[in-house]
Every structure is written in structure tokens, then in C-alpha cells.
A and B are shown apart, each in its own frame.
Chain A
Amino acid sequence: MLYLFMEDTEIPKLAPSDLCLDKPAVDMSSAEKFLERSMALILEEAVKRATNRSEKVCEWVSPQQLQQLLQLDLGDTGESEEELLQRCRDVIKYSVKTVHPRFFNQLFAGMEPYSMAASFIIEALKPSIYTYEVAPVFTLMEKVVLKKMIEVIGWEDGDGIFNAGGSLSNMYAINLARFHHCPDIKELGMSGSPRMVLFTSQDCHYSIAKAAAFLGIGTKNVYTVPCDERGKMIPSRLEELILKAKKEGAQPLMVNATAGTTVLGAFDPIEEIAYICEKYRLWLHVDACWGGAAILSKKHKHLVQGIHRANSVAWNPHKMMMVCLQCCAFVVRDQKHLLQRCYSSNARYLFQQDKFYDVSFDSGDKSIQCGRKPDAFKIWLLWKALGSSQLEQRVERALAMAQYLTQQMKARQGFRLLMEPEYANVCFWYVPPSLRNVPDGPEFWNKLHKVAPVIKERMMKRGSLMIGYQSHGDKANFFRMIIISPQVTTEDMDFVLDEIHSLGQDL
């Protein structure tokens, strides 16, 4: 029971001796012991067992049951060490094992020990990366990682920052484009200025809409460009929309091209889009949060051909590169301190100009965040461990695995591909035997629409596998397999097909 603080209760006065100020309030040796025991538990249960194929991917219980099992409520008094360790055990048990080799549900998966070790170090050191004085090592590391990304993209120079999510990176891009176009908006705001319009594909990430709302631009001023049958933005339709916006008297501001869409894994044709942006002088942002890793592979970098012509890029190493969440980079092709000018507020308690070191190393004023975690360290340590050559190998393997799955699927009855994958998304329908002779038509699709949700429920309750499903446009619910982890083998791909069939054959 939580203690009730009531206004008219007598407030006891505390004598200084009650508080024992002479000693620290934390018992160090028992605290360290707790830490060692909980770490041993974490390594055993959350890391070792969780990556074992003979263990479950998830331990499904209903929300009501889970509420009771976890005993979540927060009370007045503390618990014993044994009880706390049991709580840690329970948290692990009922959490989904996203590191499991059969977790294919999201655009992140797998266990990456180097970035995890880096995460642990970050947690222990507990830094905030706004100034060099408080986080010297991590400040330098972030710079080096951003520089490497800029080099790999193909820019001569640039700027950037790591922030709390790809959604935020996309917001940064829109805000920068707006500031670049009209710097006065930072002070004056937007009411009274002409209506600005953004362009993006109909398959882009939903953070573009959220960003437009948040930044005061309005979701109606995001014009969506139709995609072709492979999920790619159609450049000629983009140009039409730009002209339409101009005719309306609006100001086209920015085009968001997606490198690796969320559902289909499609890559917008960046080169052609860049040409249009240059023609109409629009800011080109490439949301490569998911597909950015393709650039590390000589074999697959053609997917992002033209990316060097972008003004800004968002790239999330916490996706294909398996770095622990979060790890999101935003880079901008600019050498005139645009990020700094756009975001700075020159807070004097943090960014003093009379410090004894070169204050240009204080990166905090480029961000909208104040306290900020040094996420770049996670990718730095991983890169040091593997080098670009092994990172490349991993990307190529993931895509090769997607091709293997595709081929197996084509050879099997009951599986229907949406389209040939060009990245790591394999989208398909499972057609149970009962529907295999039904002709294509509304009846077939309505029935098929109900299949994936049931199979999903069954796989989660069995705990054998996790794959996402969704409808898309006018297409009935289909599965979306995402292949990332180098721990995954062809055996796992075969298992996926067998298991889906096993779970759904009676439907």
C-alpha cells in the first residue's frame, strides 16, 4: 500500500542524527554482491538461454495473469535481495526474447555481444554527452563514428548527431530543411508565413506524419507520392505533386526518400529523386534507418545509389547492424554549423564560453535533447571488433538468407510471395490447404485475411516463433519475415516454413 501523504498530518521533525550524514547511505559491499549475482543471472537467463533454440521465444500469458504474476505494485518498504533476484528472474521469464534466433517480428533482432558490452559500460559510467568536460571519451567517439558514416555515404564533410530514435532523426531533417529555407522561423514561428509542404512516398515511415504534426506543419501538408508495384516512389508522380503544390501557392520544402521501407523493404530511386530535388531546389532527406546498412556492402550498395546527393540521412545501427537499442544517427551534408545554428539556445550554465578547453567540442547545443546517452559508443566498439569487412559480411549474409527463404518458399505449396525481396524483408501469405483451390477473388482474400492473425496467436502461445503480419493498402493480412541475425541458419528458415504450416494447416 502506498503511503498517503495528507496535508493536515503532523509532519515529524527529523533530527540530524536520524539521518546519519557521516556515512554514505548505500552499503557498498552488499550492493556489489547484489550486482554480481544479478549479472550472473542476466548472462545465464537473458543471454545464454535466450539465444538457445530449444528454449521458447516468448512465454505468453494473458495481461491479467501477467499483472498478478509480476506483483508490480510499488510499496512503502523495500524487499530482500532474494525477492529482488526472483523479480529479475520473472522479468526475464515473461519478456520476449528478442535475441532468440527465431524472433523475426521487428526490424531489430539478435544478440550482439560487443554492442551489449558497450551498453553495460555506458550504464555503469552513466554519462551525458552534452559537454566534453563530462563525457570526453564519448564526445570524441561520436565524432569519429559520424565522420565514418559521412565518408561511407560519400560526402566530403558534414555534421551530425546521435539521437533518441529514427523518428527524431526524421524530425531533425524536417526542422533543418525549414530553418535552412527560412531561418527567421526559429524566432518568429510559422503563423503568418506561407504554407510549406513536404513530399514522401505512401509507404514511408509514419514518423513523417507525426513529425509534420509536431513541428506545426500539419499532416495535410505532407503530400504522399504513389509507389509502383515494388513499393518504390514513382519520381514522375513526385514531380507532378511538386508542381501541384506550387500551383496552390504553397512552398515545397523537402522530399523524404525512404531507403528500405518498413513493410516491403523497398528502396526509393534516390538518384532520380535527387535530380528532381536539385531542379526545384528542395531539401532531400533519405530515411535510411532500416536500409542504411546496405551501403556497407559492395554487392548491395547499389540499392542506395545516389545517397551522396542527399542533404541529410537518417541511419539506425540498432536495426540491421544489431546494436543494442537505441543507436540512431542523423547526418547532414553541411559545413556551416547548420545544426548548431538551428538548435542552439546557448544556455550559459552548460555551454560557458570561457572554459579552459576548446568549446567547439561541446556538442550538446546541436541537439533538442539536454541529457543524452552516448549511443555512438555501441557502434564504435562493434566496428572495432568486426571491422568494416565483417560488418559487410553480415549484411550480405542476411540478404542471402532472405534469398534462400524466398527460393524455398517458391518450391513449397501453400506459400505465396508478395514480391521478390531486394533486401531483408520477405513478405508472403500462407494459404492453408482449405483455400488452395479457391479462385482468386473477394471470398478468397476475405478468408485469407483471417489466417495470419490466428497463426500469430498460436505461434505466440506455443512460444516457438515470432513473425509480424499486417495488411498493406488493399492487400489481405500477410506475414513479414525480417532476417537480420548472423546466428540464423538455413535450418531456421526451413523451420519457419514448417512451423507456419504446422500452426495453420487446419485453418
Chain B
Amino acid sequence: SCHVLDLNEPIIDHAEGQLFLNEAFKILMEEVLCKGTDAKQKVCRYEEPEVLAKILDLELREAGEPHEKLLQRVRDVATYSVKTCHPRFFNQQFSGVDYHSLAGRFLSESLNTNLFTYEVAPVFVLMENEVLRALRFLVGWTEGDGLFCPGGSTSNMFAMNLARYQLYPDVKTKGLWSLPQLVLFTSPESHYSVKKGAAFLGIGTDNVILVDVDDGGHMIPEDLEEKIKSAIAQGAVPFLVSCTSGTTVQGAFDPLDRIADVCEKHNLWMHVDAAWGGSVLFSKQHRHLMKGVERANSVAWNPHKMLTAGLQCSVLLLQDTTNLLKKCHSAHASYLFQQDKFYDVDLDIGDKSLQCSRKVDCLKLWLMWKAVGSSGLAERVNKAFSNVRYLTEKMKKTEGFKILNEPEFVNLCFWYIPPSLRGKELNEDYQDRLAKVAPVIKERMMRQGSMMVGYQPLGNKVNFFRVTVFSPLVSTKDLDFFLDEIERLGRDL
């Protein structure tokens, strides 16, 4: 039986809830957006996991807590989280902040809806359509299709699925059992989601054939041709080439025009993973790096990276106009995609995706674009390149810094060689000792909270730093600081 008395009153007090939201907002303005973007404040406050767990009092209990306690928790979260907006956060391919996109993100959260049907998200269905059109235009397509995906990895996997479906539409119903062995081609410097995708889609990571790259990390089209021929000779069926515009570590741009030649010759789907590098298309000066992109079948592009739109903001763009995306993914769920609705049901775009619930990720980009215009976004891209050039030139003149390669993009990869190792390149243990330098400097910078930059090995190259410079909050002062700080942290090693 139901207790009618209880059901007559709501058990949520909206006035209180709104007050909480207001207070929480003030905290995050102060702690995250003001302090978090201030060069004089720390980038991070590192604590060991066990210590942090105690400080945060993570346990979930039977009883709730009062507002004051919860607001303190909000403050703690802000204090101990890494300030990815900070001008000295150079660790990943996302950083900085754009306030218009941030407002767009708050708005998306508060409107809390899914993009599967027009009836539930009328504004955003139309908006997503426009944003995709504008991005396709930059690629060089006046028509086409596309989707926002929950990340570049998913975009790459969707492209893989589409390529497979186009070649063998029956795979959707019958599965891979009856098909010959499919193979795909990518470079060893491409993003790891290509391999994860191959495993997930049932193709198998062994069937991801790695094409040789040159010294700068660019796929070699002649080798691609060779490997395709070789695969065919062994009875496998090539179906996809996944090349990269802006590799993760070195920021290399594969030569798209020549790769397109090879793909056209062998009738292979060409996917360009431009998750990182795609934003160069905004810049007249730098879009030549992606020359030939319009010949691709699909492009993945993450505005949450270089354009600082905020996680998640990832698109998959397609040249196709035959509704391939929908045909490949649809399941025609009758409870959601009724055909007897009172509006044009083509606006119910949910069946193009493999997701059911799908967040609104277009508003953040749309609002930012409205705020600064494509010329404003182009300026940011150009500035990023100039910042990297500044840092590179300065680094070349500074003792103890050795660059891997002249940056093609906004990734600058280098070793810091402490005084004790300088001039000792020919020593037997040089590489081993050099490999230990970056991890120690990284630990020190994190414990002190002064800066964050990533390091990794690559091929036979031992640990080196990879600094990515693109946040609109960064200035030459921060770049000068960068060099000084690495030196300061590592010179005694």
C-alpha cells in the first residue's frame, strides 16, 4: 500500500538545492577558475593515494550530510585536483580554458538531455547538424554526414565499423565468422585506439598491419603499398587505412595526398585520425599540413583538444551521402524511433549512433565559435604554432636541452641532459642514465606543484619530455619559466 500523505508533498526542496548550486558555483569560480589559472598558484597538490583517500573521507554511508560539510567536500575536490586550466599544465593534449565553451558546458549540464530524438532535444539536434556542417566545410566537403562521439577512440572505432560494413554489409547480421580475414593498416605512431578498436570489433590486433614511418614519424606511402600487396598475396582482405594528422607523441602529419593515391588504387576506406591535428584546418597558414584530407572517407576531430572546448567534444565526419552511418548502426527501436510522430522523423538522429543516451557536446563548441568566430579560432591555432617556435628557438640556445626533431605541430619533444651527463654521450651507460632523468624531474615537479609535462619512451629512444603548447592562457613568460624550471629541478641529477 502507498502512504498517500507522504506522496502529496515533494521530498526535494528546490530552494535549498538551488542555494547549494549557487554556493558550489562560487567555490569553483574561486578555487578552480581564479586560482586554477593563476601562474602564481600551484598546478597540482600531489598526495599519495592512501593519504588522499583519508583526506577526502571517501566512504559512502547510510546517512547524508549537511550542506556545510558538502561544500567543504567541494572545496577539497577543487584543492586536490590537478588544475588542467593552469598555464603551466603542459601534460596532455587538452589544457587551458575558454569561458564561452565553459558557459556552454554548464548550460548543457543543467538542461540535462539526450540527443536521440528531436522531441527531447530540438535545439541540439539542429545545432549539432550545423556544427558538423561547418566542420565538414573546413575539411572541404559541402555535403556529408557525421556524429559527435564520446571520444576520439570511439570515433576511430565507428570509422572502422563503417569501413567494414561498406565492404561487407552482411557483417552486420552474420558476423565475421563467414568472412575472410580482414586487415587494416596504420602507423606505429598512430593512437592506440586503432588497436583497441581492432580487438573490440573482433578483427584482432594481429590484423593491424603497421606501416613503416620515417624519422619524423610520418607514414611512408611506398611501404603502405608494399604491405597492402603483401597482405593480398597472403589471402587477407585489406579494408581500411587509418592514418594520422597530428600523432600523439611527435605531432607528425601523415602525407594524406599520397596515402589517398594508394587507397584509391586499392579501393580502401581512408580514415584520417585528426583528433589532435584537425584544428589546423582553421588556419590559412597551417592547413597545408592536412592537404589531401578532402579525399578521405572519414575524419575524426576532437575540438576538446587544441580548441579547448572541454572534454568531451569529439566528432566523426563522413564524406558519405548515402546514409551509410544510419544503415550501419540502426536497430529501429520502436519505443524510441516511432515512425508515426507528428514531425519529420529524419530529425531523430539517434539511430546513427551506437549509443542510446548521448550527451549534448555540440553546445560548448557552438557557443565558443559564436563568441570568437572562426577567425578567432584560427588566431589561437596560429598563436600556438608561434609559441612553439618561440620555445624551440629558445631551447636550441639553452645548454642541456636536446630536441628530438624540429616540431611540425605544437608538440615539442626533447631531452633534458643534466650537467653530469653532458659530453658523455659515448659512455656505455649513457642511455640508461638518461632514461632515469625525466621520471625524477616529473616526480619533483608534481610534488612541488610548479608544473606538469609528460614524458615517455618511443621506439628505441629513451624517456624524453613532450611539451604541448596551445592553451590560449599561455604566454612567453610561461615558456621562459618552463625552461628554467626543468633546469632547476634536474640540474643536480
Contact = CB atoms under 8 A, between A and B. Distances in A.
A188 interface: yes
Nearest to B195: A345
B339 to A, nearest CB: 10
Contacts, number: 563
Given A135-B81, A190-B177, A19 B386 contact: yes
Contacts of B201: 214-216
A383 B37 CA distance: 30
How big is chain A's contact interface, by range?
A: 35 or more
Contact of B386 (A2, A21, A47, A489): A21
A441 interface: no
A48 B14 contact: yes
B166 interface: no
Contacts of A185: 199, 202, 204
B475 A22 contact: yes
Contacts of A19: 379, 382-383, 386
Interface in A1-50: 2-3, 5, 9, 11-14, 16, 19, 21-26, 28, 31-32, 34-36, 38-39, 42-43, 46-48
A370 B191 contact: yes
Interface stretch (B41-49, B217-225, B399-407, B420-428): B41-49
B25 interface: yes
A128 B92 contact: yes
A283 interface: no
B373 to A, nearest CB: 4
Interface in A311-366: 316, 318, 324-326, 328, 343, 345, 347-350, 352, 354-358, 361
A506 interface: no
Given A190-B177, A216-B203, A349-B456, A116 B354 contact: no
B151 A371 contact: yes
A401 interface: yes
B58 A141 contact: yes
A488 B373 contact: no
B434 to A, nearest CB: 13
A397 B387 contact: no
A262 interface: yes
Contacts of B161: 214
Interface in B77-118: 77-78, 80-85, 87, 91-92, 94, 97-100, 102-103, 105-107, 109-114, 118
A383 B83 CA distance: 25
A54 interface: no
A144 B60 contact: yes
> Which has the most chain A C-beta neighbours within 10 Å: B120, B281, B314, B463?
B120
A216 B176 contact: yes
Interface string B44-79: 101111001100101111111100001001101110
Contact of A324 (B109, B176, B376): B109
Contacts of A381: 70, 73-74
A215 B167 CA distance: 16
How big is chain B's contact interface, by range?
A: 35 or more
Nearest to B236: A191
A136 B248 contact: no
A5 B367 contact: no
A489 B7 contact: yes
B120 A96 contact: yes
Nearest to B160: A214
A98 B113 contact: yes
A410 B456 CA distance: 67
A217 B175 contact: yes
A243 interface: no
A211 B334 CA distance: 18
Nearest to A316: B357
A389 B153 contact: no
Contacts of B386: 14, 16, 19, 21
Nearest to B104: A88
B11 A42 contact: no
Given A19-B382, A384-B65, A457 B111 contact: no
> Which has the most chain B C-beta neighbours within 10 Å: A9, A72, A358?
A72
A218 B172 CA distance: 5
Nearest 3 pairs of A and B residues by beta carbon: A189-B204, A218-B175, A216-B202
9 contacts: A16-B390, A26-B99, A32-B34, A38-B107, A88-B367, A92-B111, A136-B52, A171-B354, A470-B336
